[in-house]
Chains A and B, each alone.
Chain A
Amino acid sequence: MTEIASTKLTIINELGLHARAATLLVQTASRFSADLYISRDGRQINGKSIMGVLLLTAGKGTELDIQAVGEDCRELIAAIEELVKNKFGEGQ
């Protein structure tokens, strides 16, 4: 039985999922074995693909559906939530 975890997140950092944030997100996701899927308005991309993440054009205030599939899916979701909540370290 494949494990699945999911959540809904709103992007709150000023710049949205721009190069820096997208890079951090993909770098973080790549540390886990679980697959990551991010959808916006029904369009789904692979969360381990930086081009996919950039093409989401998720600016500040965008709502995203996040789904992780695989053994460490819960840890992966927690790590992504943490990143988004901390605004990807913006302004630090």
Chain B
Amino acid sequence: MSQVIRLQGIAASPGIAIAKARALHRTQLLVPRSKVSPQKIAGEMERLTTAVAQARTQIQAGIDSIVTSENGMPGGNHTMILHAHLLMLEDELLIDATRKLIEQRHINAEWALSTVSNDIKDQMLSLEDPYLRERAEDIEHVSSRIMRNLLGLDEDDDLSDEKFAEDCIVVATELSPAETAQLAPTPIMAFVTETGTRTSHTAIMAQALGIPAVLGVENITNIVGPEDMLIVDGLEGWVIIQPDEKMLARYREKSLQWHAMEKRLRDTRDQPSVTADGVDIRLSANIELPSEAPFAMDYGAQAIGLYRTEFLYLDRDHPPTAEEQLRVYRHVLQALAPRCVTFRTFDLGADKMPRSMQSRDRNPALGMRAIRIGLKNPDVLKTQIRAILQATVDTKGQARIMFPLVSGVPEMRQLNRLVAEVRAEFDADTLPLVPVGCMIELPSAVLTADLLAKEADFFSIGTNDLIQYSLAIDRCNDDVAYLYSPYHPAVLRAIHMTVTAANAAGIPVAICGTIAGEPHMTPLLIGMGLRDLSMAPSAIPFIKFALQTVNISEVTAMAKEALQMSTPDEVERLAARYMQGLAGVPS
């Protein structure tokens, strides 16, 4: 008799999913503990030997498959980690120590293994070197592989495993960006994790894929059994395990309602994005992964205003090769043709870096980030530029190159020179026009926007960083979060200055921060002269609706008024009054 369990988490991406659970057990295996009589010690040893031998075969198979798929080039980064795992299987600190413990304490192999591996992990986690702390994960990986063999559980938690080939809900302690990406192309119905917030990578990914996600559900990986039926309610943040017929019926109904509503939004896909008085506004999508391209088109994106390329650089020892990038960029351009794709060169910070480029900044937001890393390692940046240009040539696609975190004219000139150097390697006749522009996200770039406009082919305003840097707010510090406001007069003036400078120089200007996808900001943004908004794909239908209520002369007047206001509160009230006025509510 199964029991219905209902757990509350954070509703991180809307929607309802009903499907079987596929738990990713990595850290949460339940370890059976028992004493073993002296005459059974030899049997325990034998079980351990067999489990280790199985693990060896499994890891070797992993290496072989990677070597094949990487065109027979051994020694890549992925295979190197697997080779390290093979060595760990032989390691005296792990295996011999486990044997010793079985013998001395007369305990079963699982208990001994978990004791030893936890001990090593603790040692690793206590190290100062952040990279070595991460290696604790490798030990976890290896020991849980042996553990699963000991327990006779199905061999693999490999993400490429066929167990994700059918509709399922992924349940995990947490998902790294790389794991989420690896899972993305499979028919996943929803994500449920123990950690994470509305802004974590898994949430962003789920929103982009248009699937529900409930995050921060404590202990879920221990509660959900394999093949358990789950309901994930991403609207209210519920996860229901083994629902009964009544509940299933209720949620099927709720799911239908949600789909009907979502469809209404999606139906706006082919409608033009124009204001009430007929002015065209370009709505583009921000994407991070090639697999998001179809969703962007589904939601009616006219272009990709921001393609974040960091993903290629993460979770690895060295930057991606030109060939690797070329494959991905070609795919993106082809999938989205004839839409223009704005490639933002890697925007890596101290927390998001390939390991060979890591530095130890005390204040990452003000340290080595984005083009600062690129200008210090020009070969890495040139490799990326080369791959973008080559992909454009190969696909005859439309691309733009956008540099993040440009502080002013000197950097823009340096970057333009790098692009010119790479362009010179190409045959000038075949090379299409690829505009080169920059993000406006530093106060220094705003204040010199008129000068930058002479060096850049286009601007895109990155409001997330612009707010952080203008108002001096660490986005990771909850204590100062109350100061974070897009309504701050300084933020509005910065946006307005940038738009004015771009218009005066006759170059395109767009906005690609979070606020571009927030309907309550739309009147203000349009009022300040923006005609090109780039946002999460799923936000496009909402903004299209919001535009239908925008009248250019009205919002221009409102923005003019807002730019003269003294406090964020006044601006917010003004914007709210405008929306209420539209809804016919007296203010």
Contacts and interface: CB of A to CB of B under 8 A. Distances in A.
Contacts of A48: 92
B479 interface: no
A24 B91 CA distance: 14
Nearest to A89: B75
Contacts of A52: 91-93
Contacts of A50: 84, 87-88, 91
Contacts of A14: 356
Contacts of B81: 19
A51 B80 contact: no
B327 interface: no
Chain B, interface size category, equals 20 to 34
A78 interface: no
A58 B477 CA distance: 33
B139 A51 contact: yes
B356 A57 contact: no
Contacts of A59: 129
A54 interface: yes
A15 interface: yes
Interface in A46-76: 46, 48-52, 54-55, 57, 59
B83 A51 contact: no
B138 interface: yes
A33 to B, nearest CB: 15
A34 interface: no
Interface secondary structure of A, over-half rule: helix
B120 interface: yes
Interface string A17-60: 01110110011001000000000000000101111101101010
Interface in B274-318: 317
Contact of A54 (B80, B90, B124, B355): B124
A50 to B, nearest CB: 4
Nearest to A90: B356
A18 B93 contact: no
B132 interface: yes
Question: In this complex, which of B87, B92, B124, B135 has the most chain A Cβ atoms within 10 angstroms of its Cβ?
Answer: B87
Given A23-B84, A49-B92, A51-B88, A18 B131 contact: yes
Contacts of A30: 87, 90
B84 A49 contact: no
B84 A46 contact: no
A19 B315 CA distance: 13
A46 B80 contact: no
Contact of B124 (A18, A46, A55): A55
With a 10 A CB-CB cut-off, give which of B84, B88, B317 has the most chain A CB atoms. B84
A55 B349 CA distance: 27
Given A27-B87, A50-B87, A19 B129 contact: no
B175 to A, nearest CB: 22
Interface string B330-371: 000000000000000000000000011000000000000000
Contacts of B123: 55
Contacts of A55: 123-124, 127, 132
B138 A19 contact: yes
Nearest to B82: A23
A22 B128 contact: no
A92 to B, nearest CB: 10
A52 B84 CA distance: 12
A19 B356 contact: no
B172 interface: no
Given A27-B87, A54-B135, A55-B124, A18 B355 contact: yes
B355 A49 contact: no
B84 A22 contact: yes
A55 B125 CA distance: 10
Nearest to B135: A54
A62 B356 CA distance: 18
B460 to A, nearest CB: 34
Contacts of A15: 317, 355-356
Contacts of B94: 51
Interface string B105-142: 00000000000000010011001110110010011000
Contacts of A27: 83, 87
Contacts of B84: 19-20, 22-23, 50
A19 B83 CA distance: 10
Given A49-B92, A49-B93, A18 B132 contact: yes
A80 to B, nearest CB: 16
A57 B120 CA distance: 14
Interface in B63-88: 77, 80-81, 83-84, 87-88
**Which of A18, A19, A46 gathers the greatest number of chain B CB atoms within 10 Å?**
A19
Contact of B317 (A20, A46, A54, A57): A20
A55 B132 CA distance: 8
Contacts of B135: 19, 54
Contacts of B128: 57
B154 to A, nearest CB: 27
A22 B223 CA distance: 38
Interface in B251-266: none
Contacts of B77: 20
The 9 closest A-B pairs by CB, nearest first: A50-B87, A51-B93, A23-B84, A49-B91, A51-B91, A20-B80, A26-B87, A19-B84, A23-B83
21 contacts: A14-B356, A18-B131, A19-B138, A19-B317, A20-B77, A20-B80, A20-B317, A22-B84, A23-B83, A46-B92, A49-B92, A50-B84, A50-B88, A51-B93, A51-B139, A52-B92, A54-B132, A54-B135, A57-B127, A57-B128, A57-B129
Interface of A: 14-15, 18-20, 22-23, 26-27, 30, 46, 48-52, 54-55, 57, 59
Given A51-B91, A52-B91, 8 more contacts: A19-B317, A23-B80, A23-B87, A26-B87, A46-B92, A54-B132, A55-B124, A57-B129
